[in-house]
Amino acid sequence: MAPFYPKPNGKPGKEIKQASLLITIPAIMFAAPAIGYFIGNWADKKFGTSPYLLVVGVIFGFAAAGIEVYRLVKRSSDLDESERNENGT
């Protein structure tokens, strides 16, 4: 059976769950710093502190992306562990 076909019980296999979790990583790595950039740029224009708040926003964006990627990888690893425990291997 190919790895991405659904299991006979109708539940998606661990491969699909893991792929769906891990495929979001590039989007998070792009979106979080971009959001930090736009918020920092807006704050710099509002308070006249260019470029300091923009840099802080981008740094916070990368930090938030790193935390979220860690959570996704941990969740994917937990799925793998639970699948192993169910199969008894």
> For the range 28-32, what are the long-range contacts, defined as Cβ-Cβ under 8 Å and sequence gap of 24 or more?
28/65, 28/68, 28/69, 28/72, 29/65, 29/69, 31/65, 32/61, 32/62, 32/64, 32/65, 32/68
Task: Give per-residue pLDDT as tens, 35-58.
Answer: 999 999 999 999 999 999 999 999
Task: Give per-residue pLDDT as tens, 7-20.
Answer: 566 566 777 888 88
What are the residue boundaries of the structural domains of the chain, listed by start? Answer: 14-87
The predicted model scores a pTM of 0.77
